[in-house]
Amino acid sequence: MPQAPSDALVFFGATGDLAYKKIFPALQAMVKRGQLHVPVIGVAKAGWTLDRLRARARESLETHGGVDGPAFDKLSALLGYVDGDYEDPATFDLLRRTLGSAKRPLHYLAIPTSLFSIVVGQLGRSGCASGGRVVAEKPFGRDLASAQALNRSLLAVFPEPAVFRIDHYLGKEPVQNLLYFRFSNSIFEPIWNRNYVDSVQITLAETFGVEGRGRLYEQMGAVRDVIENHLLQVTACLAMEAPSSGHPETMRDEKARVLEAIAPLDPETVVRGQFRGYRDEPGVAADSRVETFAAVRLEIDNWRWAGVPFFIRAGKRLPVNCTEVLVEFKAPPTSAFGEKMERPNYVRFRLGPDVAIALGVRSKAPGEAMVGQEVELLATRGTGDEMVAYERLLGDAMKGDPTLFAREDAIEAEWRIVAPILASSSPPHEYGVGTWGPVEADRLMGRSGGWAKPFDTRKAP
């Protein structure tokens, strides 16, 4: 049943980094597409005025995507601002007055997780939550217990259908394309299982380091930052069964089932690394044991995937910037031409920064001999745009569509999966800047093919 759209958008943390880099560009894009025409109220404790917030919005757009004159003028007219302390009830009383006649506001918590409970409690006390929705930005907790506690505080004020837990990866166009490719091409369904798939690799590589965010990264590490959320969600998209209908909850049901079928990680199937020089970053402890790289091996204990290893790795200061999935198929049972294949057939999904879906096959090399060569058939290639993710997700939240948002049972399953490795006190393996992480990660593969090395498409011929 369609839900009534939100009639106001409130975003907490209006003067922060996330608003500057992502939210203002998304809001302008929504205005430009005719998707945003309700009051947009920023809330922060900065001593700012509305004019200062409008100037900040322009600065943001000049840096991230450009200013569209007519769209920005309309966004400026929609903007409002409330300045005050999140612990002060007067801040929220003023917000309620600023909302005016709005009855279904959407509250976006672009603030540290530690402030969620405080803000949500004040929204409930002031009446701002009545009839409204709330968007909670990741990270959703630091472990299973904190995620459950955070969920209790949200549900004490908002009903579950009004809670939207945002993971911008689920709104990215290439991740949407991954789902579409799987469930709109029947030729792959007969082989998308343990009988034909040999292994799956998921890589999130970044060439940059912590970029002055050392103090924050010390509280996170690679597992909490991207594996527990982004990459386990990508795993669910790859491995889930087809949803039985177009109802939002059927998609979320299937993702939750896959995640619940993954056993908690065995520390023996995890390799943690730290790039050389990380401890010299501002805000980083001199004896830090926080990982900037992690590689894990997991298996999905269900009928479709039993026995198929899923290898996930993520790291900073690696050779390229990319997120890529490689689904490798089993080699033919015998070689009719006596060849030893280095890598069998595969499907490759490049999820960013460019977009590609490719099929790896073998074709006979020119000449008399029956020898082959690897050929990659490229299905699509283009440039991804992360800004689209925030535009899409904010628009969906305002419409009340939860399809692309993580549900609490899925989030709790993710925390259960990584729980055994969060408390690791063992020192991470050191690796050099510009390498593919510590060599110890190779032992997880247990086979000759090894990790695939995604290439930098910007340097490709």
**Whether residue 175 sits in one domain with residue 71:** no
392 pLDDT more than 80? yes
Please report the DSSP string for 7-65 in residue order: SEEEEE-TTSHHIIIIIHHHHHHHHHTT---S-EEEEESSS--HHHHHHHHHHHHHHTT
Listed residues 91, 113, 137: the one ending a domain: 137
**Whether residue 370 sits in one domain with residue 243:** yes
**Whether residue 132 sits in one domain with residue 241:** no
459 pLDDT more than 50? no
DSSP letter at 291? -
DSSP letter at 207? S
**Whether residue 193 sits in one domain with residue 48:** no
Q: What is the largest CA-CA distance in the chain?
A: 84
**Whether residue 191 sits in one domain with residue 73:** no
**Whether residue 124 sits in one domain with residue 180:** no
| Dihedrals phi, psi of 448, to nearest 5 degrees | -75, -25
**Whether residue 87 sits in one domain with residue 45:** yes
Grouping H, G, I as helix, E, B as strand and the rest as coil, residue 76 is: helix
pLDDT band at 365 (very low <50, low <70, confident <90, very high): confident
Asked if the structure places residue 151 within a domain, the reply is: no
Other residues' Cβ atoms within 10 Å of the Cβ of residue 180? 11
pLDDT of residue 387: 44
Secondary structure element (H or E) that encloses residue 97, with its range: helix 89-99
Listed residues 117, 137, 157: the one ending a domain: 137
What pLDDT digit, counting tens, does each position of 257-272 carry?
A: 999 999 999 999 999 9
pLDDT band at 244 (very low <50, low <70, confident <90, very high): confident
**Whether residue 263 sits in one domain with residue 194:** yes
**Whether residue 215 sits in one domain with residue 112:** no
Asked if the structure places residue 234 within a domain, the reply is: yes
Half-sphere exposure of 121 (CA within 13 A, CB side): 12
443 pLDDT more than 70? yes
What pLDDT digit, counting tens, does each position of 63-82 carry?
A: 998 999 999 999 999 999 99
Asked if the structure places residue 147 within a domain, the reply is: no
**Whether residue 326 sits in one domain with residue 185:** yes
Range scoring the smallest mean pLDDT among 120-129, 227-236, 247-256: 247-256
pLDDT of residue 379: 78
pLDDT of residue 248: 80
**Whether residue 351 sits in one domain with residue 203:** yes
What pLDDT digit, counting tens, does each position of 290-337 carry?
A: 999 999 999 999 999 999 999 999 999 999 999 999 999 998 876 656
What pLDDT digit, counting tens, does each position of 406-441 carry?
A: 999 999 999 999 999 997 778 999 999 999 999 999
**Whether residue 427 sits in one domain with residue 295:** yes
> In the chain, how many domains are there?
2
Asked if the structure places residue 281 within a domain, the reply is: yes
Cα–Cα distance measured from residue 81 to residue 48, given in angstroms and rounded to the nearest whole number = 8
Residue with the larger pLDDT of the pair 99 and 449: 99
Asked if the structure places residue 22 within a domain, the reply is: yes
N- to C-terminal Cα distance for the chain? Answer: 50
Q: Which residues neighbour 66 within 8 Å (Cβ) at sequence distance 6 or greater? A: none
3-state SS of 233-251 is HHHHHHHCCCCCCCCHHHH
Asked if the structure places residue 390 within a domain, the reply is: no
Asked if the structure places residue 19 within a domain, the reply is: yes
Average pLDDT over residues 173-193: 89
| Dihedrals phi, psi of 198, to nearest 5 degrees | -85, -45
CATH assignment at residue 366: 3.30.360.10
Range of the domain at 195: 170-385+401-459
Which residues carry out catalysis? Answer: 230
Listed residues 120, 137, 154: the one ending a domain: 137
386 pLDDT more than 50? no
pLDDT band at 354 (very low <50, low <70, confident <90, very high): confident
Q: Mean pLDDT of all residues in the chain?
A: 90
pLDDT band at 458 (very low <50, low <70, confident <90, very high): very low
Asked if the structure places residue 394 within a domain, the reply is: no
CATH assignment at residue 76: 3.40.50.720
246 pLDDT more than 80? no
Grouping H, G, I as helix, E, B as strand and the rest as coil, residue 323 is: strand
pLDDT band at 233 (very low <50, low <70, confident <90, very high): very high
